[in-house]
Amino acid sequence: MSRPASHSHAVHKDYQGAKLGMWIFLFTELLLFGGLFILYSTYRAIYPHDFHAGGQHLNAVIGIINTVVLLTSSLTVAVALSAIQKGSRRLTLQCLGATIVLGILFLANKYVEWSEEIRRGIYPNGPELEKLPNGGKIFYGLYYAMTGLHGLHVLAGVAVLAVMLAFVWKNRVTTTDYVKLENAGLYWHLVDVIWIFLLPMLYLAA
Amino acid sequence: MEQAAEHGHVLPYRTLVRVWLVLLFLTAILVIASTVYHEALSVWAMLTLTPLKAGLVFFYFMHLKYEKPFLKSMVLITIATLIIFIGLTFLDILQR
C-alpha cells in the first residue's frame, strides 16, 4: 500500500468539489439556525411586550462590540485567503493568528455577558427568571440557546482556524493548494453572518 | 493554464477592506436607527440593512460573486426554502 511517489501519479484533488461540499454543509447550518430564527420570530409575534422588555435588559454594548470583533475577524480571514493565493505566507499566518485572537476575544466578551446575566438571577430556575412572565422566560431561553449554539460554532471555528495555521506553517496549505483554508474561511464567514442576524434580533430590537 | 482555471478568484486586499468598512458603516446606521424612537423606521432599518450586510459577506468575503451560476442558484434555493418556511409559519400565526 505504498503511495506512488512519482509525479505521474499525482494525488487527485477536486477544488470545485471540495468547495461545493463545504457549501452544502453550510446550507445545513443555515437551516439549523433558520429553525431557531423561526422559533424566535414566532414567539416574538405572540409575546411582543415580553420580548421587548427582555431585549432592553440585555447588554447591547457588548453585543455591538462583538459585532465589530466578528466583522473584523471576517476581514482578517478573507485577507488570509487572498494572501495565500498571492503567495505571501507570512501575511497569511499573521491574519490567521489575528482571526483566532479575535475569535477568543468574542468568546471572552460572551463569558462576561453571560456571567452578568447569571449574576442577575437569569438562568434555568434562577430567582429573577422565575419572576418573569412566560414570554420573558421564552425570550431568555432562546437567548441562551441561540447565543450558546452560536458560541459553540465560534469555538469550533477557532479550533479549525488553529489547525489551518498549523497547516500553513507546515506547508500543507500552500499557494497552489489552499482549498482547506478557503473552506475554513467559508465556515468562519457563515458564523459571522449568523451573528449579523442575532445582533438586531436580540440586542437592538428593544 | 489548467491550474488557473481550477482555482478561485483572488480578491484584492483593498476590496476586502472596503467591504469591511461598509459593513461597519451599516452596523453603525443599524445601531443609530434602533435608538431612534420611531418603531417603523427601526424595524425597516433592521429588515433591509441586516440582509444587505449578510449579502455583502456572502458576495465578497465568501467569493459568491465569482462563483459559477450553479453554486449561486444552490444558495438561492436554500435561502428561498428558508423564506418560504418563515412565510408559511407567519401565515399560520397571523390567521389564529
What does B18-43 look like in DSSP terms, one character per residue?
Answer: HHHHHHHHHHHHHHHHHHSS-HHHHH
Do A71 and B23 count as a contact with CB atoms less than 8 A apart?
Answer: yes
Average pLDDT over residues A60-89: 97
A26-203: CATH architecture: Up-down Bundle (1.20)
Average pLDDT over residues B43-71: 94
Would B4 be classed as within a structural domain? no
Tell me the percentage of chain A whose pLDDT exceeds 70.
Answer: 95
pLDDT of residue B40: 79
Band (A3; pLDDT cuts 50, 70, 90): low
Q: Which of B61, B74, B90 sits opposite A78 (nearest CB)?
A: B61
Q: Which of A68, A182, A192 sits opposite B24 (nearest CB)?
A: A68
Do B37 and B57 share a structural domain? yes
Average pLDDT over residues A4-16: 69
- Counting the structural domains of chain B, the total is 2
Band (B56; pLDDT cuts 50, 70, 90): very high
Do B56 and B35 share a structural domain? yes
ipTM for the whole predicted complex goes beyond 0.95: no
Residue A119, min C-alpha distance to chain B (Å): 27
Residue A133, min C-alpha distance to chain B (Å): 21
Do B53 and B37 share a structural domain? yes
pLDDT of residue B22: 98
Average pLDDT over residues B56-69: 96
Do B31 and B53 share a structural domain? yes
Q: Which domain holds residue B72?
A: 63-96
- Is pLDDT above 60 for A5? no
Which helix H or strand E contains B57, and what residues bound it? none
Do B56 and B15 share a structural domain? yes
Do B34 and A204 count as a contact with CB atoms less than 8 A apart?
Answer: yes
Domain ranges of chain A: 26-203
Do B52 and B20 share a structural domain? yes
Which helix H or strand E contains A12, and what residues bound it? none
Instruction: Give the CA distances from residue B13 to residues A73, A76, A91, A140, A165, in Å, rounded to whole numbers and listed in that order.
Output: 14, 10, 11, 40, 20
Do B68 and B49 share a structural domain? no
Instruction: Give the CA distances from residue B28 to residues A29, A65, A70, in Å, rounded to whole numbers and listed in that order.
Output: 27, 11, 14
Do A78 and B16 count as a contact with CB atoms less than 8 A apart?
Answer: yes
